[in-house]
Homo-oligomer: A and B are copies of this chain.
Amino acid sequence: MAKASQLGQLPSNSQEVVSRSLIRSLSRPHASSTPFTRSSRAGHPELLQCRGQQRRCITIDQLDSGRDNRERVVILGSGWAGYGVARRLNPKKFQAVIVSPRSYFVFTPLLASTSVGTLEFRTALEPVRSQRSKVNYFQGWADSVDFKRKTVSIEEAVDDPMQSLAPTGGRHADETKQQREQERNEDVKKGKLFALTYDKLIVSVGCYSQTFGTPGVKEHALFLKDVGDARKIRNRLLACFEAAALPTTSDDMKKTLLNFAIVGGGPTGIEFSAELHDIITEDLAKLYPELIPFHNITNYDVSEKVLPMFDEKLAKYAMDTFKREGISIKTSHHVQELKLGSPQKSRANAEDDHACFTLKVKEEGEVGVGMVVWSTGLMQNPFVAQAMGDVPELPDSDLKSLEIDQGSRSYPWSIKKDAKTGSVITDDRLRVKVVPKGDQEHPEAVLDDVYALGDCAIIEGTAYPATAQVASQKADWIGKRLNKNDLDKAAFSYKNLGVMAYIGNWNGVFQGGDKGPLGNISGRAAWVIWRGAYLTKSVSLRNKILIPTYWLINWLFGRDINRF
């Protein structure tokens, strides 16, 4: 047992050794059949010392003892892909362990509704831990993977202050490689970094929010990717109205505070614009009637058309509806900067009463805004760039399915990535592909027990969109295949079930998919489909009851405007 002798050994600066030392007390589920017993520890003085400082002895005894010969599937991420796989896996066959900085799953299509109070925040959430799902969970960020030893190192994230907010940049982006290494070593000592072995690994870490490096956006814009973002938007929106209602607020400042800019004309940006219009006209107009003439909603997009996934006619229907509702759509507009303070600040030399922002648009110049909601797409997850790179050695098990000779195992490999997006490339069984490093003559291969799905992965040769629908179908598919152990039977293929968007004032657009009985629908009927579909798809019975309750309550009494 080479592993045992490394226990208690302080990690050196080499990442490889860190990874090894991390394995310490986590018994390898299948590869090592000898459990890591107390008697085996006794021979190692380092270990005894380690037991004195108990917190530094990593113990997943409970996890191990509860395995009962099941394979352990470690799932990185708790979004549509990760949470989907975890729910699908048969707990009698697999021990599912989700590792994610976020302890809940977000039903993202309802986030825009929660951001204005059409629904309460919690109706869009499902806890990863639940009695029903029997999923194990550790709150943390996956830090690195040792594919040879089938081990993930995890950075715990229980007190991460950013945990419910859209990530926009790497957590350790400011650090040099050396600093990060040192920090890693410190974290191991503190117990903040620990290792977990897997039999199968599901990489479903998702993407970050894309800001295209636009100055000030990370700092001042609000996103719409997680429930903390929705909460921030709701509070900010109501604060803008409350500040505009103060007697000292000038008309100029009222216009600025109540000027709401949404950047991004995809379904999220469009649906948020629509929901924002609804709360203002249906609720805030009654509470702040004198302020309504000052308000303004503008949706900016760089491309020539919004809702690009919809056909011309539906997109035009949405645009016409927006025009009637008074929402401006500014396509072919380029946002260049977002900064604190009003544009008037320099002009009138007057001090700002309230926090407001200036949006610099190439085609318009500087515009004073009360809030900017940013929804322009995806940035590759830094984990994919950093941890899903080189594979110095393949694990033993891969020899079976890879038709490569024993010698090839010693080549250094690297994970195949999409040149444009940096996504992990998988085969049509969602297995992560690897290519020999630097040597193009050797054939490509796959990592047998490592699967990638969701926004961070692309099946080679396909162009499925980075949507919840694709992630969800992949999750269902891989879950079923693993349960039945018939991965080789047939390849995954995506069925487009249609796309839909809410466009305000109880109207929607729906575009039928590949085989659906419905074609293109717009207006009230599409809104009914929208609500019906999301109610049906919402996960727990609890939310299936609460969601219509809130729809009814808010229709009867108006949206709740309490801000805290």
Name the B residues within 8 Å of A55 (CB-CB): 248-250, 252-253, 350, 353
CA distance A374 to B252 in the complex (A): 44
Name the B residues within 8 Å of A48 (CB-CB): none
Given that A158-B239, A227-B564, A564-B231 are known contacts, is A58 also in contact with B248, CB under 8 Å in the complex? yes
Contact check, A194 vs B248: say whether CB atoms are below 8 A apart: yes
Contact check, B540 vs A350: say whether CB atoms are below 8 A apart: no
Given that A58-B247, A138-B246 are known contacts, is A287 also in contact with B103, CB under 8 Å in the complex? no
Given that A130-B287, A560-B122 are known contacts, is A158 also in contact with B56, CB under 8 Å in the complex? no
Q: A350 to nearest B CB, angstroms?
A: 5
Which of the four size classes fits the interface of chain A? 35 or more
**Contact string against B for A residues 226-258, beta-carbon threshold 8 Å, 1 for contact and 0 otherwise:** 111001000000110011011111111100000
Q: A355 to nearest B CB, angstroms?
A: 6
Cβ-defined partner of A191 (8 Å) among B57, B192, B249:
B249
The answer to the question of A317 belonging to the interface, with a C-beta cut-off of 8 Å to chain B, is no
CA distance A227 to B562 in the complex (A): 10
CA distance A239 to B557 in the complex (A): 34
CA distance A220 to B125 in the complex (A): 29
Given that A129-B287, A562-B104 are known contacts, is A243 also in contact with B54, CB under 8 Å in the complex? no
Residue of A242, A545, A549, A564 with highest tally of chain B CB at under 10 A? A564
Interface residues of A in 159-215 (CB under 8 A from B): 159, 163-164, 189-192, 194, 196
Name the B residues within 8 Å of A103 (CB-CB): 238, 242, 562-563
Contact check, A355 vs B164: say whether CB atoms are below 8 A apart: no
Contact check, B122 vs A122: say whether CB atoms are below 8 A apart: no
Q: A328 to nearest B CB, angstroms?
A: 25
**Contact string against B for A residues 400-442, beta-carbon threshold 8 Å, 1 for contact and 0 otherwise:** 0000000000000000000000000000000000000000000
Cβ-defined partner of A62 (8 Å) among B290, B348, B560:
B290
Q: A558 to nearest B CB, angstroms?
A: 8
The answer to the question of A510 belonging to the interface, with a C-beta cut-off of 8 Å to chain B, is no
Contact check, A131 vs B540: say whether CB atoms are below 8 A apart: no
Name the B residues within 8 Å of A380 (CB-CB): none
Contact check, A159 vs B350: say whether CB atoms are below 8 A apart: no
Contact check, A156 vs B248: say whether CB atoms are below 8 A apart: yes
Name the B residues within 8 Å of A549 (CB-CB): 546, 549
Name the B residues within 8 Å of A242 (CB-CB): 103, 139, 158
Contact check, B560 vs A127: say whether CB atoms are below 8 A apart: yes
Given that A541-B557, A542-B553, A562-B103 are known contacts, is A353 also in contact with B129, CB under 8 Å in the complex? no
Q: A338 to nearest B CB, angstroms?
A: 18
The answer to the question of A120 belonging to the interface, with a C-beta cut-off of 8 Å to chain B, is yes
Q: A4 to nearest B CB, angstroms?
A: 18
Cβ-defined partner of A353 (8 Å) among B192, B243, B350:
B192
The answer to the question of A351 belonging to the interface, with a C-beta cut-off of 8 Å to chain B, is yes
Residue of A54, A60, A121, A248 with highest tally of chain B CB at under 10 A? A248
Cβ-defined partner of A355 (8 Å) among B159, B248, B250, B355:
B159
Given that A54-B252, A55-B248, A250-B55 are known contacts, is A562 also in contact with B127, CB under 8 Å in the complex? yes
CA distance A82 to B268 in the complex (A): 41
Q: A20 to nearest B CB, angstroms?
A: 17
Q: A170 to nearest B CB, angstroms?
A: 22
The 4 A-B pairs at the shortest CB distance, nearest first, are namely A191-B248, A164-B564, A55-B250, A54-B250
- 28 A-B pairs, CB-CB below 8 angstroms? A53-B348, A53-B350, A55-B248, A55-B249, A55-B250, A55-B353, A56-B350, A58-B248, A60-B247, A103-B562, A104-B562, A120-B122, A125-B564, A127-B561, A140-B246, A156-B246, A156-B248, A158-B243, A159-B239, A159-B354, A159-B355, A191-B353, A192-B248, A196-B247, A540-B557, A542-B553, A546-B549, A546-B553
Q: Which residues of A contact B (CB under 8 A)?
A: 26, 52-60, 62-63, 103-104, 120-122, 125-127, 129-131, 137-140, 156, 158-159, 163-164, 189-192, 194, 196, 226-228, 231, 238-239, 242-243, 245-253, 286-288, 290, 348, 350-355, 540-542, 545-546, 549, 553, 556-558, 560-564
Apart from the given pairs A122-B560, A156-B246, 10 other A-B contacts in the complex at a CB distance below 8 Å: A56-B248, A60-B247, A63-B247, A120-B120, A122-B562, A125-B562, A139-B246, A159-B243, A191-B246, A194-B247
